[in-house]
Amino acid sequence: MPNMGRYEEVVNSFSWEISEKELGYRPGDIINIGEYCSDRNLRLGRKDRPALIWEGHSGEVKKYTFYEMSVLTNTIAGFLKNLGLQPGDRICLFMDRIPELYFGFLGILKMGGIAQPLFSAFGSESLITRLEDAQTAAIITQRKHLPKVRNIVESLPYLKHIIVVDDDGTKSLREKEIAFHMDKAPRLEKFDIYPSRAETPSVLHYTSGTTGKPKGAQHVHYSLISQYITARYVLDLRENDIYWCTADPGWVTGTSYGIIGPWANGNTQCVLDAGFKAETWYRFIEKYKITVWYSAPTAIRSLMKEGEEAVRRRNLSSLRHLCSVGEPLNAEAVHWSKNVFGLPFHDTFWQTETGSIVISNYPEMPVKAGSMGKPFPGVTATVVDLKTYQPVNKPGVVGLIALKPGWPSMFRTYWRNEATYQSKFKNGWYICGDRASIDEDGYYWFVGRDDDVINTGGHLVGPFEIESALLEHPAVAESAVVGKPDPVNMEVVKAFIALKPGNSPSQELELDIMNFIRKKLSPLAMPQEIEFVDSLPKTRSGKIMRRVLRAKEWGEEIGDTSTLEND
């Protein structure tokens, strides 16, 4: 029986106090995410349980128990405190997915700092934008990324320390640079945890907007209450699960459910610090007997592209529960996973700003392929009218997804940008910026980002339905749909398509695809043009950047591209 039980019963009886009681937290208590994810597990008898199993791109493996993790996070916390860093200081984590990234995150929180995780693939320009805005006090990084930091250090007057975690002290370092080797540093068995409270700032995650500077979503330690119980109910994490979240902690999924959720539940989690390759991923699942797997639709579609034979070559029978995150999961991917794994991927919806899953498919609930699922118990959600922001209250009518403020992990502000934060709230609702409809059974159906919706002849067309139809064609690996200028209809639909191996662009294939989707879409939704591409622009977290494609069609500024995969 899943942890959550039957959805309808839980919705009627749920309160966030359930999570508080399970965690042993009472309002007003000290609540420090770093302590709850490490030391608390020792008190619960998990001292010798593996906390982290890490594998590098070269095949190197490192394993750490909860006891070792507790000591090492203490060690990092003590090191940072001895440098003179203060509670509330923003401390940036700029590393590949190495153990120091995960333990460093908890160590920062233990000493009261605000963790600022950034993708290690960022260049100097992307770095300076975020570090300057946050007035970051320290960066924890690797020698391989040091040149990017050195390029900008003179422009960062608030930056006090650059901590290099893979430096043994034998190489020359410059001013502000400090060598720190986690495995060789004097270990701290005990550390006086910073007495953070519910509203004490914890994590600063930067999101990239369509234009302008990235925004820093500020979260607090009380977010743990949401992240703990959503990991239990949605990801269905149980005592002996071996868990794998493929997200990088530079993205909020990699912290909420790649650090906080699993370790607050005392689970063993695996991390693979290697690029995407189907064979490597399947080998990893087989080798460590992964039971719960949380990944992104882009990765799932890439696995589909590799075909079923790659799955058949491995014993993946350990898998028990699959979830996806990042952007809506097309129905075709759900059907495929049921066919090859014997399990459906359960789509989950949330944002950097929400801090935890807010709409999802649940283990005990029938999956409607292509649907986002239903609101998490304790989260009041609806779709509101595009102009009045009043709830639509009618099945099938498209509106903006809206959430009633008050769930524990909701962001508290945009860093140094309160005006933009306040603009996210309308008529008592937090407006997510995504369009969807709700069917007669209460399931949510994604239409598109508000700024991705296409206005053709006064009719609004969402890209998701068209992209889903295209993906059902046997030659199509990935698709993205945008509006392009049209003198008669304002804009018309254009589709960008990446093909599966063994298929080549041709007029015959284009006609075949058009005829195939004609039976599935309304005339308004039919693409007026198809462009075949080798790949689609995506963020490092796997989201297709439709606005990049749209901007090129309209001759507009692309805006912030720092989170692009190949930027």
Into how many domains does the chain fold?
A: 2
Domain boundary among 374, 408, 438: 438
Please check whether residue 499 lies inside any domain of the structure: yes
How far apart are the C-alpha atoms of 250 and 565, rounded to whole Å? 13
Residue 388: both structure tokens together: 């009045």
289-303, pLDDT tens digit by residue? 999 999 988 889 889
At residue 308, φ and ψ (nearest 5 deg) are -75, -30
Does residue 490 register a pLDDT over 80?
A: no
How far apart are the C-alpha atoms of 501 and 498, rounded to whole Å? 10
pLDDT bin (cut points 50, 70, 90) of residue 210 is very low
pLDDT bin (cut points 50, 70, 90) of residue 458 is low
- Does 354 lie in the same domain as 491? no
Name the residue among 520, 545, 523 with its Cα closest to residue 535. Answer: 545
pLDDT bin (cut points 50, 70, 90) of residue 567 is very low
- Does 196 lie in the same domain as 258? yes
Mean pLDDT, residues 184-211: 89
Please check whether residue 563 lies inside any domain of the structure: no
pLDDT bin (cut points 50, 70, 90) of residue 326 is confident
Residue 518: both structure tokens together: 């004609």
Does residue 528 register a pLDDT over 50?
A: yes
- Does 416 lie in the same domain as 278? yes
- Does 431 lie in the same domain as 457? no
Please check whether residue 559 lies inside any domain of the structure: no
Does residue 551 register a pLDDT over 90?
A: no
How far apart are the C-alpha atoms of 466 and 504, rounded to whole Å? 21
Are 183 and 199 contacting, i.e. CB atoms less than 8 angstroms apart? no
How far apart are the C-alpha atoms of 171 and 432, rounded to whole Å? 48
pTM of the model: 0.86
- Does 470 lie in the same domain as 402? no
Residue 168: both structure tokens together: 């043994």
Please check whether residue 560 lies inside any domain of the structure: no
Which run of H or of E encompasses 224? helix 224-233
Mean pLDDT, residues 260-288: 96
CATH number at 306 reads 3.40.50.12780
Does residue 374 register a pLDDT over 90?
A: yes
pLDDT given for residue 211 in this prediction: 43
Mean pLDDT, residues 178-206: 96
Please check whether residue 168 lies inside any domain of the structure: yes
- Does 349 lie in the same domain as 307? yes
pLDDT given for residue 117 in this prediction: 97
Domain boundary among 438, 459, 488: 438
pLDDT given for residue 367 in this prediction: 95
Least confident segment among 4-18, 133-147, 293-307? 293-307
381-438, pLDDT tens digit by residue? 999 999 999 999 899 999 999 999 999 999 999 999 999 999 999 999 999 989 999 9
pLDDT given for residue 301 in this prediction: 85
- Does 207 lie in the same domain as 247? yes
Does residue 323 register a pLDDT over 80?
A: yes
Residue 435: both structure tokens together: 């369009």
Name the residue among 128, 85, 100 with its Cα closest to residue 214. Answer: 128
pLDDT given for residue 540 in this prediction: 65
CATH number at 458 reads 3.30.300.30
Q: What is the DSSP string of 308-373?
A: SHHHHTS--TT--EEEE-SSPPPHHHHHHHHHHTSS-EEEEE--TTT-S--EE--TTS---TT--B
- Does 425 lie in the same domain as 519? no
- Does 160 lie in the same domain as 52? yes
3-state secondary structure of 43: helix
Mean pLDDT, residues 39-62: 97
Does residue 559 register a pLDDT over 70?
A: no
H-type alpha helices, 252-319:
252-255, 261-264, 278-288, 297-306, 309-312
How far apart are the C-alpha atoms of 201 and 109, rounded to whole Å? 9
Please check whether residue 562 lies inside any domain of the structure: no
For residue 279, count other CB atoms closer than 10 A to its CB.
11
The sign one gets for the Cα dihedral 374, 377, 379, 385 is positive
How far apart are the C-alpha atoms of 473 and 162, rounded to whole Å? 50
Name the residue among 470, 486, 454, 490 with its Cα closest to residue 533. Answer: 470
pLDDT given for residue 564 in this prediction: 59
Are 205 and 252 contacting, i.e. CB atoms less than 8 angstroms apart? yes
Mean pLDDT, residues 518-546: 82
- Does 420 lie in the same domain as 534? no
Domain boundary among 376, 407, 438: 438
pLDDT given for residue 143 in this prediction: 94
Q: Which percentage of the chain shows pLDDT scores above 90?
A: 76
Query: What's the first-to-final CA gap in the chain, in angstroms?
Result: 45
Place of tokens 């965690």: 23
Residue 411: both structure tokens together: 């962001």
Residue 485: both structure tokens together: 């200028």
- Does 408 lie in the same domain as 305? yes
How far apart are the C-alpha atoms of 309 and 303, rounded to whole Å? 11
Does residue 157 register a pLDDT over 50?
A: yes
Residue 119: both structure tokens together: 């993708």
Please check whether residue 443 lies inside any domain of the structure: no
Domain extent, residue 255, equals: 7-438
How far apart are the C-alpha atoms of 347 and 362, rounded to whole Å? 9
Mean pLDDT, the chain, integer: 92
Least confident segment among 85-89, 337-341, 455-459, 527-531? 455-459
Name the residue among 150, 125, 105, 373 with its Cα closest to residue 258. Answer: 105
Does residue 538 register a pLDDT over 90?
A: no
- Does 97 lie in the same domain as 27? yes
pLDDT given for residue 459 in this prediction: 58
